[in-house]
Every structure is written in structure tokens, then in C-alpha cells.
Amino acid sequence: MEEVIHARGHENVSAEHASTFEVTTDDYLTPAGDCILAIDADRAPADFDPEFVDACRDETATITVALEIDGHEATVSGRGDPDLEFTNERSAVGRTSDYVDNRTVVVGAEFAAEGFDRELVDTLADGADVTVRITVE
């Protein structure tokens, strides 16, 4: 199963956070948002299909987040958790830890914002459009 989010980069994308990455529906980004990869997302976790959400609540599920930007692609995988809520109406957050709140869409991620390819991050900082595909198996 798959959920797709369309968003865009922003000049303040730095992708320096060591434990999270985020895509937000907010239409702005301050330099302090060092985990945010994209803004102005057309969907948030609260919009996801209930069947998708249920599949993500299996702790043995593999959840993969793929970013597609101007010919660049990056993927990061993690796992599901029974406590995932998918109720946030603003932000989707991936975490390297086991911490779960209403923004969390994947835990135990292989890496966080700082792990994304710098060329991809530069493209996001140029304001490029991005397609975020979240799949669960």
C-alpha cells in the first residue's frame, strides 16, 4: 500500500537533524527547522487511508519513504509500531528512535534528515517540487 504527498522545497532546507525528518503542510520554513525536507504538502497523516494506517501499526511492517525530486531519488526505511496514530493535520515525521506522537509515520528509520544526499538537499533548498511516496509492506 502507498500514500503519496506532493510538496516543495524551500531556501531554508538544511536537512541537518540527526534523529528526524519531516514534510509539513506549512507554507514557510525558518532556519530552525533543520529536520524539514519539504513544505506546502498537499496531505498530512490525518488524510491517509485507514487501511494504510492499520498496516503501519504492525510492528513487523516495513515502511519506506521515497523522495523523488528533479531526477534525484532517495529512500529511507524503518518500521511500523502499534502506537502510530496518523492523526496530525500538519506534519509527517520519520524518526530513527522508537518515539511516537501524532506526527510520526515511521520509527527506527535507517537515517534522519542529515543522512539525505547533499545534492538532493541542495535541490530542495532551490525550492524544487518533490513527490513523497510512503509505502508499507
Q: What is the percent of the chain with per-residue pLDDT over 70, rounded to a whole number?
A: 100
CB contact set of 15 (below 8 Å; sequence gap of 6+): 21, 34, 35, 37, 113, 114, 116, 121, 124
Q: Over the stretch 15-55, which tens digit does the pLDDT of each residue have?
A: 999 999 999 999 999 999 999 999 999 999 999 999 999 99
Q: Over the stretch 79-133, which tens digit does the pLDDT of each residue have?
A: 999 999 999 999 999 999 999 999 999 999 999 999 999 999 999 999 999 999 9
For residue 92 the three cell numbers come to 509527517
In the chain, the amino acid numbered 9 is: G
Q: Which domain holds residue 120?
A: 2-136
Euclidean distance between CA atoms 89 and 108, whole angstroms: 22
Q: Closest by alpha carbon to 136, among 63, 48, 85?
A: 63
**Nearest 5°: phi and psi at 108?**
65, 30
Residue 78 belongs to domain with CATH number? 2.60.120.630
Q: Is the pTM of this model over 0.85?
A: yes
Q: Over the stretch 58-89, which tens digit does the pLDDT of each residue have?
A: 999 999 999 999 888 999 999 999 999 999 99
Number of domains in the chain: 1
Can you say whether the dihedral through the CA atoms of 78, 83, 87, 93 is positive or negative? negative
Q: Closest by alpha carbon to 111, among 75, 137, 84, 57?
A: 75
For residue 54 the three cell numbers come to 492499520
